Amino acid sequence: MTAPTVDASGPYPDWDPLAQYPIDPPGSCNPHPRLAECRRNTPIARGQGWSDMGEAIEALELYRYDDVNAVLRDNETFSSSSIREGMSIVMGPYVLVGMDEPEHKRLRSLVAVPFRPKSLAHWEDELVVQVVDQMIDTFAPRGSAELVREFTFRYPVQVIAVVLGLPVEDHAQFHEWANAIINVSADPMHGIQCSKDLRGYLAEMLADRRRAPQDDFMSELAAAELDGEVLGDEEIFSFLRLLLPAGAETTYRATGNFLYGLLTNPEQLDRLRVDRFLMTQAVEEAIRWEPPLLITSRVATRDTEIHGEKIPAGMQVVPHVGSANRDETRWERADEYDLFRESKPMISFGSGVHMCLGMHLARLEMRVAVNRLLDRCANLRLDPEAVERDNPHIHGETFRSPTTLPVLFDVG
């Protein structure tokens, strides 16, 4: 494989991470104190959800680890179908996260092949490290950076673009399409148009790879086969469009939260800097402490109940994964980022048959990003003046990530 090239044409100076996401407007408050109160006082509560048509509907909210885990594992009683309805306008009909069995298992097994830990090892050195290094090259001589705008926001999209095999001159266009699709609720017409454009672009590429396979992800999907089953073109287009919110958006936020956890706990960052064996648990703790997405959604397929609370068929159920991860009965001092904590299973990647397909890639990206930043940016630290001026903090009630990460480091 030839060395990848990333589009390193500089940051997006006009891009405002808060204005971008209307779902979490500026002024949204930190939801964790409210979630803690719910875990204590109303762990199973009737609240208000939203239908795909934007109508208020009754929903059952779950806040404790065991309840959230139980609902996500019981995919027969709790269907993912409502997610599909909402996403198919920009992703096409085969939205993996919104499918139920048996069609879900067939599609997942086929697209899962390139996401296995062993398949990913192949990409790590050849691609991911090089993407990170080229991005760091753009600010390394300066001794300062704003890591959200110059690094985390663009990094996972670059990885996906490179792994898919997109030529570098198309990366900026790809990121533009990705943003419009991710933010379809802000501008539906634009999002739908970009989804169509991206589908057309991917169709040309897939036809090309079916003719002449290369060592890239698109070729792997085209060739994937299990028990005589193969992927249809539309299944591939749906899946690749799903990767944008599922793979790029979440990992951009998770990487930012990880960096925020380290930079605001400098004594832990110092230990990690000199002992990289801590990296795996440092990543796990970041994902537990501040998952990029706090909730998901299910619909009851039949009348059921949880701890005596009646749930009629058709009712929406909202498992609060971000709350489950701070369940005080499972983690002490759950609100603190503590990389020395012993890792144990948490719920950020979900649970049950829909557990995040990209979890191994996400962990790899977070690990490589921070390893290379620490290797190349000596004495990486928050910039106190910029902190004073810009008040960096993790923002959002649904999606969460830092508003800004102004850093200094030694150039030498």
Partner 1 sequence: MALRIEVDPEKCMGGGNCEFWAPKTFELGDDNISHVVDPEGDPEEKIVLAAQGCPTQAIAVWRDDERIA
Residues that bind partner 1 (CB under 8 A): 72-73, 105, 108-109, 112-113, 115-118, 226, 344-345, 350-353, 355, 357, 359-360, 363
Helices H / strands E in the chain, number of each: 19, 14
**Residue 36 vs 278, nearer CB to partner 1:** 278
Partner residues linked to 26 by β-bridges: none
- The dihedrals phi and psi of 124, each to the nearest 5 degrees, come to -55, -60
**Residue 179 vs 296, nearer CB to partner 1:** 296
CB of 347 to partner 1, least distance (A): 10
CB of 214 to partner 1, least distance (A): 21
**Residue 34 vs 105, nearer CB to partner 1:** 105
CB of 256 to partner 1, least distance (A): 22
CB of 2 to partner 1, least distance (A): 27
SS3 category, 301: coil
Is omega for the bond preceding 102 within 30 degrees of 0, making it cis? yes
Q: Compute the distance between CA of residue 324 and CA of residue 318 in angstroms, rounded to an integer.
A: 12
Beta carbons within 8 Å of 180's beta carbon, 6+ residues apart:
187, 190, 191, 193, 194, 195
Q: Compute the distance between CA of residue 132 and CA of residue 263 in angstroms, rounded to an integer.
A: 19
Q: Compute the distance between CA of residue 290 and CA of residue 400 in angstroms, rounded to an integer.
A: 7
**Residue 163 vs 377, nearer CB to partner 1:** 163
**Residue 52 vs 76, nearer CB to partner 1:** 76
Q: Compute the distance between CA of residue 16 and CA of residue 285 in angstroms, rounded to an integer.
A: 28
**Residue 116 vs 393, nearer CB to partner 1:** 116
Tally Cβ neighbours within 10 Å of residue 10.
11
Asked if 311 and 303 touch (Cβ cutoff 8 Å), the reply is yes
CB of 85 to partner 1, least distance (A): 23
Q: How many residues comprise the chain?
A: 412
CB of 226 to partner 1, least distance (A): 6
